[in-house]
Amino acid sequence: MHFTKMHGCGNDYVYCDITKGNPIADPGAAAIYVSDRHFGIGSDGLILIAPSEIADVRMIMYNADGSEGAMCGNGIRCVGKYAYDHGLVKNTEIDVETASGIKHLTLFPGADGKIEKATVDMGEAITDCRKIPVTHPDNEMIDQPIEVAGQIFKATCVSMGNPHCVVFRDEDVREMDLAKIGPSFENHPIFPKRVNTEFVNVIDRAHVRMRVWERGSGETLACGTGACAVTVACVLNGKTENTIDIELLGGHLSITYDQASGHVIMTGPATEVFSGDIEIPENITEDDVKIYTPAK
Protein backbone atom coordinates (compact mmCIF):
# COMPACT_ATOMS: atom_id res chain seq x y z
CA MET A 1 0.00 0.00 0.00
CA HIS A 2 1.44 3.37 -0.98
CA PHE A 3 0.65 5.97 1.66
CA THR A 4 1.20 9.60 2.55
CA LYS A 5 1.46 10.71 6.18
CA MET A 6 -0.13 14.12 6.81
CA HIS A 7 -1.35 16.12 9.78
CA GLY A 8 -3.46 19.13 10.65
CA CYS A 9 -2.26 20.73 13.89
CA GLY A 10 -0.70 17.41 14.90
CA ASN A 11 -3.89 15.40 14.26
CA ASP A 12 -2.12 12.87 12.03
CA TYR A 13 -3.49 10.28 9.65
CA VAL A 14 -2.16 7.83 7.10
CA TYR A 15 -3.70 8.66 3.70
CA CYS A 16 -4.14 6.23 0.85
CA ASP A 17 -5.19 7.30 -2.66
CA ILE A 18 -7.63 4.68 -3.97
CA THR A 19 -8.92 6.70 -6.93
CA LYS A 20 -7.31 4.20 -9.31
CA GLY A 21 -7.95 1.04 -7.30
CA ASN A 22 -8.22 -0.13 -3.70
CA PRO A 23 -5.43 -2.40 -2.39
CA ILE A 24 -7.03 -2.74 1.06
CA ALA A 25 -9.32 -5.69 1.69
CA ASP A 26 -10.25 -4.73 5.27
CA PRO A 27 -9.69 -1.01 5.89
CA GLY A 28 -10.72 -1.26 9.55
CA ALA A 29 -7.99 -3.80 10.21
CA ALA A 30 -5.54 -1.81 8.10
CA ALA A 31 -6.32 1.27 10.20
CA ILE A 32 -5.38 -0.55 13.40
CA TYR A 33 -2.24 -1.93 11.74
CA VAL A 34 -0.88 1.35 10.36
CA SER A 35 -1.96 3.51 13.31
CA ASP A 36 0.10 1.69 15.91
CA ARG A 37 3.00 3.95 16.89
CA HIS A 38 5.29 1.03 17.74
CA PHE A 39 4.59 -1.62 15.09
CA GLY A 40 3.01 0.48 12.34
CA ILE A 41 3.46 3.92 10.80
CA GLY A 42 1.85 5.76 13.69
CA SER A 43 -1.30 7.86 13.33
CA ASP A 44 -4.74 8.72 14.69
CA GLY A 45 -6.27 6.59 11.94
CA LEU A 46 -6.48 5.84 8.23
CA ILE A 47 -8.12 8.05 5.60
CA LEU A 48 -8.89 6.80 2.10
CA ILE A 49 -9.11 9.30 -0.77
CA ALA A 50 -11.64 7.77 -3.15
CA PRO A 51 -13.45 8.75 -6.37
CA SER A 52 -16.85 10.40 -6.02
CA GLU A 53 -19.84 10.68 -8.34
CA ILE A 54 -21.18 13.78 -6.56
CA ALA A 55 -18.03 15.71 -5.57
CA ASP A 56 -14.40 16.15 -6.61
CA VAL A 57 -13.18 13.40 -4.28
CA ARG A 58 -14.53 11.31 -1.41
CA MET A 59 -13.04 10.97 2.07
CA ILE A 60 -13.47 7.68 3.95
CA MET A 61 -12.00 7.72 7.47
CA TYR A 62 -11.21 5.07 10.04
CA ASN A 63 -10.22 5.64 13.64
CA ALA A 64 -7.17 4.06 15.25
CA ASP A 65 -9.36 1.32 16.74
CA GLY A 66 -10.67 0.32 13.30
CA SER A 67 -14.11 1.91 13.64
CA GLU A 68 -15.35 4.03 10.76
CA GLY A 69 -15.74 7.73 11.50
CA ALA A 70 -18.16 10.15 9.91
CA MET A 71 -16.09 13.31 9.67
CA CYS A 72 -12.68 14.76 10.52
CA GLY A 73 -12.05 18.49 10.20
CA ASN A 74 -8.25 18.25 10.24
CA GLY A 75 -8.38 15.23 7.96
CA ILE A 76 -10.51 16.90 5.30
CA ARG A 77 -8.08 19.80 4.99
CA CYS A 78 -5.32 17.27 4.30
CA VAL A 79 -7.52 15.50 1.76
CA GLY A 80 -7.88 18.82 -0.04
CA LYS A 81 -4.13 19.36 0.07
CA TYR A 82 -3.40 15.88 -1.27
CA ALA A 83 -5.98 16.17 -4.06
CA TYR A 84 -4.52 19.50 -5.26
CA ASP A 85 -0.82 18.71 -4.74
CA HIS A 86 -1.13 15.34 -6.50
CA GLY A 87 -3.22 16.54 -9.44
CA LEU A 88 -6.58 14.97 -8.56
CA VAL A 89 -8.11 18.46 -8.77
CA LYS A 90 -6.95 21.61 -10.52
CA ASN A 91 -9.03 24.26 -8.78
CA THR A 92 -8.58 25.74 -5.32
CA GLU A 93 -12.35 25.63 -4.73
CA ILE A 94 -13.36 21.98 -4.33
CA ASP A 95 -16.06 19.75 -2.85
CA VAL A 96 -15.31 16.65 -0.79
CA GLU A 97 -17.86 13.93 -0.18
CA THR A 98 -17.94 12.61 3.40
CA ALA A 99 -20.22 10.39 5.45
CA SER A 100 -21.58 13.66 6.88
CA GLY A 101 -22.36 15.17 3.49
CA ILE A 102 -20.48 17.27 0.96
CA LYS A 103 -18.08 19.85 2.38
CA HIS A 104 -16.77 22.84 0.41
CA LEU A 105 -13.07 23.74 0.71
CA THR A 106 -11.06 26.79 -0.28
CA LEU A 107 -7.38 25.86 -0.67
CA PHE A 108 -4.48 28.27 -0.21
CA PRO A 109 -1.20 27.46 -2.02
CA GLY A 110 2.15 28.64 -0.64
CA ALA A 111 5.12 30.05 -2.53
CA ASP A 112 6.03 26.56 -3.80
CA GLY A 113 2.55 26.07 -5.29
CA LYS A 114 1.58 23.44 -2.74
CA ILE A 115 -1.32 23.85 -0.35
CA GLU A 116 -0.44 25.24 3.07
CA LYS A 117 -3.87 25.77 4.60
CA ALA A 118 -7.56 25.41 3.85
CA THR A 119 -10.89 26.89 4.83
CA VAL A 120 -13.76 24.42 5.16
CA ASP A 121 -17.47 25.05 5.40
CA MET A 122 -18.15 22.36 7.98
CA GLY A 123 -21.90 22.62 7.53
CA GLU A 124 -24.62 23.26 10.05
CA ALA A 125 -24.09 22.66 13.74
CA ILE A 126 -26.70 20.33 15.24
CA THR A 127 -27.93 20.76 18.81
CA ASP A 128 -31.02 18.52 18.61
CA CYS A 129 -30.37 15.76 21.14
CA ARG A 130 -32.04 13.14 18.95
CA LYS A 131 -29.74 13.89 16.05
CA ILE A 132 -26.45 14.19 17.95
CA PRO A 133 -27.40 11.62 19.44
CA VAL A 134 -27.64 12.07 23.21
CA THR A 135 -30.27 10.64 25.52
CA HIS A 136 -31.61 13.67 27.36
CA PRO A 137 -35.14 14.76 28.34
CA ASP A 138 -34.79 18.20 26.69
CA ASN A 139 -34.50 18.96 22.99
CA GLU A 140 -31.06 20.46 23.58
CA MET A 141 -28.36 19.79 26.17
CA ILE A 142 -26.74 23.17 26.80
CA ASP A 143 -24.84 23.79 30.05
CA GLN A 144 -26.55 20.82 31.68
CA PRO A 145 -25.15 18.63 34.48
CA ILE A 146 -23.78 15.18 33.73
CA GLU A 147 -22.29 12.76 36.26
CA VAL A 148 -19.12 11.09 35.03
CA ALA A 149 -16.88 8.89 37.16
CA GLY A 150 -18.48 10.22 40.34
CA GLN A 151 -18.05 13.90 39.39
CA ILE A 152 -20.61 16.43 38.19
CA PHE A 153 -19.71 18.34 35.02
CA LYS A 154 -21.65 20.97 33.05
CA ALA A 155 -21.86 19.88 29.42
CA THR A 156 -23.04 21.28 26.09
CA CYS A 157 -23.63 18.74 23.31
CA VAL A 158 -23.22 19.51 19.61
CA SER A 159 -22.93 17.43 16.45
CA MET A 160 -20.72 18.46 13.55
CA GLY A 161 -21.56 15.26 11.69
CA ASN A 162 -20.16 13.41 14.69
CA PRO A 163 -21.14 13.79 18.37
CA HIS A 164 -19.33 16.14 20.76
CA CYS A 165 -19.63 16.91 24.46
CA VAL A 166 -18.07 20.27 25.41
CA VAL A 167 -17.08 20.81 29.03
CA PHE A 168 -15.87 24.22 30.27
CA ARG A 169 -13.35 24.09 33.10
CA ASP A 170 -11.95 26.62 35.56
CA GLU A 171 -8.90 24.44 36.20
CA ASP A 172 -6.14 24.48 33.58
CA VAL A 173 -7.07 21.77 31.09
CA ARG A 174 -3.37 21.21 30.45
CA GLU A 175 -3.16 19.69 33.93
CA MET A 176 -6.08 17.26 33.47
CA ASP A 177 -5.57 13.48 33.34
CA LEU A 178 -7.54 12.86 30.15
CA ALA A 179 -6.49 9.21 29.97
CA LYS A 180 -8.39 8.70 33.22
CA ILE A 181 -11.57 10.70 32.59
CA GLY A 182 -11.79 10.54 28.77
CA PRO A 183 -12.98 6.94 28.41
CA SER A 184 -15.73 7.52 31.00
CA PHE A 185 -17.15 10.35 28.86
CA GLU A 186 -16.67 8.44 25.59
CA ASN A 187 -18.63 5.42 26.82
CA HIS A 188 -21.20 7.18 29.02
CA PRO A 189 -24.63 5.55 28.60
CA ILE A 190 -26.33 8.79 27.49
CA PHE A 191 -24.22 8.69 24.30
CA PRO A 192 -25.53 5.70 22.30
CA LYS A 193 -22.84 6.10 19.60
CA ARG A 194 -20.11 7.16 22.05
CA VAL A 195 -18.85 10.74 22.03
CA ASN A 196 -15.87 13.01 21.49
CA THR A 197 -15.22 15.19 24.54
CA GLU A 198 -13.61 18.64 24.60
CA PHE A 199 -12.32 20.19 27.82
CA VAL A 200 -12.08 23.97 27.48
CA ASN A 201 -10.56 27.01 29.19
CA VAL A 202 -11.95 30.36 28.03
CA ILE A 203 -8.98 32.76 27.95
CA ASP A 204 -10.91 35.79 26.67
CA ARG A 205 -13.74 36.64 24.26
CA ALA A 206 -11.60 35.75 21.23
CA HIS A 207 -9.37 32.96 22.51
CA VAL A 208 -9.93 29.56 24.12
CA ARG A 209 -7.75 26.57 24.93
CA MET A 210 -8.93 22.97 24.55
CA ARG A 211 -7.92 19.36 24.86
CA VAL A 212 -9.86 16.55 23.25
CA TRP A 213 -10.57 12.90 23.87
CA GLU A 214 -11.75 11.35 20.59
CA ARG A 215 -13.93 8.29 20.42
CA GLY A 216 -11.97 5.43 18.92
CA SER A 217 -8.60 7.19 19.07
CA GLY A 218 -8.10 8.56 22.60
CA GLU A 219 -6.43 11.92 23.15
CA THR A 220 -5.26 13.59 19.95
CA LEU A 221 -3.27 16.79 19.45
CA ALA A 222 -6.17 18.42 17.63
CA CYS A 223 -9.73 17.81 16.46
CA GLY A 224 -11.27 20.02 13.79
CA THR A 225 -14.89 19.03 14.35
CA GLY A 226 -14.22 19.34 18.09
CA ALA A 227 -12.93 22.89 17.66
CA CYS A 228 -16.09 23.70 15.70
CA ALA A 229 -18.28 22.21 18.43
CA VAL A 230 -16.36 24.22 21.05
CA THR A 231 -17.00 27.46 19.13
CA VAL A 232 -20.72 26.72 18.91
CA ALA A 233 -20.82 25.89 22.62
CA CYS A 234 -18.93 29.09 23.47
CA VAL A 235 -21.41 31.24 21.55
CA LEU A 236 -24.49 29.44 22.85
CA ASN A 237 -23.24 29.91 26.43
CA GLY A 238 -22.33 33.57 25.84
CA LYS A 239 -18.65 33.03 26.55
CA THR A 240 -17.02 34.36 23.34
CA GLU A 241 -17.57 36.21 20.09
CA ASN A 242 -18.62 34.29 16.97
CA THR A 243 -15.07 34.10 15.58
CA ILE A 244 -12.38 32.74 17.89
CA ASP A 245 -8.85 31.40 17.91
CA ILE A 246 -8.67 27.93 19.38
CA GLU A 247 -5.42 26.79 20.94
CA LEU A 248 -4.94 23.03 20.71
CA LEU A 249 -1.99 20.91 21.79
CA GLY A 250 -0.85 20.73 18.15
CA GLY A 251 -1.49 24.30 16.99
CA HIS A 252 -4.21 26.85 16.34
CA LEU A 253 -7.47 26.87 14.37
CA SER A 254 -9.64 29.84 13.48
CA ILE A 255 -13.35 29.05 13.72
CA THR A 256 -16.42 31.16 12.90
CA TYR A 257 -19.97 30.25 13.89
CA ASP A 258 -22.47 31.99 11.61
CA GLN A 259 -25.63 31.89 13.69
CA ALA A 260 -27.78 33.19 10.83
CA SER A 261 -27.07 30.14 8.67
CA GLY A 262 -26.03 27.77 11.46
CA HIS A 263 -22.87 26.95 9.52
CA VAL A 264 -19.40 26.69 11.03
CA ILE A 265 -16.32 27.78 9.05
CA MET A 266 -12.88 26.41 9.91
CA THR A 267 -9.46 27.59 8.72
CA GLY A 268 -6.23 25.80 9.53
CA PRO A 269 -3.00 24.28 8.21
CA ALA A 270 -2.47 21.03 6.30
CA THR A 271 1.00 19.49 6.29
CA GLU A 272 2.54 16.52 4.45
CA VAL A 273 5.15 14.68 6.51
CA PHE A 274 6.38 11.81 4.31
CA SER A 275 5.30 9.15 1.84
CA GLY A 276 6.21 5.51 1.51
CA ASP A 277 5.02 1.96 1.02
CA ILE A 278 3.91 -0.53 3.63
CA GLU A 279 3.00 -4.18 3.19
CA ILE A 280 -0.41 -4.96 4.65
CA PRO A 281 -0.58 -8.70 5.48
CA GLU A 282 -2.84 -10.53 3.02
CA ASN A 283 -6.41 -11.08 4.23
CA ILE A 284 -5.67 -9.28 7.50
CA THR A 285 -8.66 -8.89 9.84
CA GLU A 286 -9.22 -6.84 12.96
CA ASP A 287 -8.70 -9.96 15.10
CA ASP A 288 -5.24 -10.39 13.56
CA VAL A 289 -4.08 -6.95 14.68
CA LYS A 290 -5.30 -6.84 18.26
CA ILE A 291 -1.74 -7.58 19.38
CA TYR A 292 -0.75 -4.19 18.02
CA THR A 293 -3.21 -2.40 20.30
CA PRO A 294 -2.02 -2.14 23.92
CA ALA A 295 -4.53 -3.26 26.52
CA LYS A 296 -6.35 -0.31 28.09
Residues marked active site are found at: 72, 223
Distance CA 181, CA 286 (A): 26
Closest CA to 187 of 233, 211, 218, 156: 218
Cβ atoms of 211 and 219 closer than 8 Å: yes
CA 97 to chain CA centroid, Å, is: 15
In angstroms, the Cα distances linking 224 to 13, 48, 53 are 13, 18, 26
In angstroms, the Cα distances linking 97 to 8, 26, 69, 76, 191 are 19, 21, 13, 10, 26
Cβ atoms of 152 and 144 closer than 8 Å: no
Q: How many residues does the chain have?
A: 296
Distance CA 159, CA 169 (A): 20
The amino acid at residue 246 is I
